[in-house]
Structure formats: C-alpha cells, structure tokens
Amino acid sequence: MIRNFSYIMAVKRIISLIFILELISCTLNAQSDKRYVRQGNREYEKNKFSESEILYRKATDKNKNSPDAVFNTGDALYKQKKYEDAGKQFVENVKMNDDRNKKSAAMFNLGNSMLKANKLAESIDAYKGSLKINPENRETKYNLAYAQDLLKKQQEQKQQQNKDKQNQNKDQNKKDQKKDKNDQNKEQQKNDKQDQDKQQQKDQQGMSKDDAQRLLNALANEEKNVQEKVKLAKAAKEKVRSVKNW
C-alpha cells in the first residue's frame, strides 16, 4: 500500500508535537515539585514541620522520583517524632538515590529514626551501612557506638531480669513446697485429732456402759436389801402381835 507523502508528514508532525507536549509537561512537573520542595523548606526552617510535610508530599505527588522530596518528608516526620514513618521515607530514599553522599546521609537519618523508635539492631545496621559509604563520618561513628552500647546494656538488663525471674520462681517453688508440707502436717494433725476424738468418744461410751451396769447392779442389790429389811420388819411385827397379855 502506497501512502500519501503529505499524510506521512502530518503523522510525523503529530508525533513530534506529542513528544514536545510530554517534554513540556515533565518540565512543568519538575518545576512544580521543586517549587513545593522550596516552599516546604521555608516552613521547615520556621519549625512548622507538619506544614512542611504536606508541601513535601505535594512535591512527591508531582514527581514520585524526586529523592529530595522523599528525603525531606522523612526529616519533617522525624521532627514530629513519627520515627517509624520517617524511617520508611529514608529507606525509600536510599533505594532511589544514586548520589553516594545523599545515600549515606539517608542511611544515617534512618539509623537515627530507628534509634529513637528503640529498634537498636536496625539502627546499628543503618549506621554501618552509612559508614561503608562514608567511613570518615565521626557523627555516624559516635551514634553507632552509642547504639551498640545501649543495645548491650539492654541485653544485660534483660539477662538480669530473666535471672531474677528464675530466682523468684525458685523461691516461689520453695515457698509452695513448704506450704504444701505445712498443709500436709496440718491435715495429718487434724486427722490424728479426729482419730483421738473418736477414740475418746468410744472410750467414754464404753465407760458409760460399764458405769450404767454397775449402777444397775447397785440398785438391784439395794432393792434386794430393802426387800429383805421389809420382810424382817414384817416378821418381827407379826411376832409381837402374837404375844397375849394375860
């Protein structure tokens, strides 16, 4: 198929125009994100960190590949004590930044963020990563040593707490064993007392029967004696009446 020459030229012009428009759009977006970054910096210098964060995020919306906007967002979040969110921004900045000095700075700030978030192992790794790029940074060396010392103290404290807990458990076990033994002794004493009480009751019951029998025997004997006396008295009376007075 043979195309008209004028048609081909028209298509080329349209393509060129689209390319120019895209280039202009990219240029305008780049100018827009830099403008927001500058505005954010002014707010940051006024200690208006929340406002600066908003402007930095607007810059990121205009240009997602702006490492400066991402880095500055992390700084603004750090100043607001949103340390873990700040750390995420610095991690993203490290991935997208080819500048070694800026990459080292991002890892240094990441270390600071993790240190503030009490994630000491992560902060130590970040400081070490920063020092691999810039070994002569004294501030990074100092912060690394501080984080390592703090981690060591926390580990020692945790070990001591575990040791104290184990000792407490041992003491509690001893107390429990002693209590169990005392409870067993009390229970045995209680059982012994119950046995003694039962035996006493049996003994008392046995003595009562014996006493009752003796009492009955005594009463029977007394009654017999009384009957004998009555008989004797009756016999004596009859004998007296039989005597006549002459």
What average pLDDT does the chain have?
Answer: 82
Average pLDDT estimate for 3-16: 51
Domain 83-160, CATH class in plain words: mainly alpha
Model confidence at 36: pLDDT above 60: yes
Q: What is the pLDDT of residues 123-161, one digit of tens each?
A: 999 999 999 999 999 999 999 999 999 999 999 999 999
Model confidence at 28: pLDDT above 60: no
Name which of 72, 67, 143, 62 is nearest 100 in CA terms.
67
Model pLDDT, residue 235 = 65
Q: What is the pLDDT of residues 196-221, one digit of tens each?
A: 877 776 655 555 666 667 777 877 78
Residue 78: exposure state from Cβ atoms within 10 A (0-12, 13-18, ≥19): buried
How distant is the alpha carbon of residue 79 from its chain centre?
A: 28
Q: Where are the domains of the chain?
A: 34-80, 83-160, 187-231
Residue 27: exposure state from Cβ atoms within 10 A (0-12, 13-18, ≥19): exposed
Phi and psi, residue 92, nearest 5° = -65, -40
Model pLDDT, residue 186 = 86
Cα–Cα distance, 160 to 180 (Å, whole number)? 30
Percent pLDDT > 70 in the chain is 77
Contact 118, 84 (CB under 8 A): no
Phi and psi, residue 134, nearest 5° = -130, 85
Confidence of residue 242 (pLDDT cuts 50, 70, 90): very low
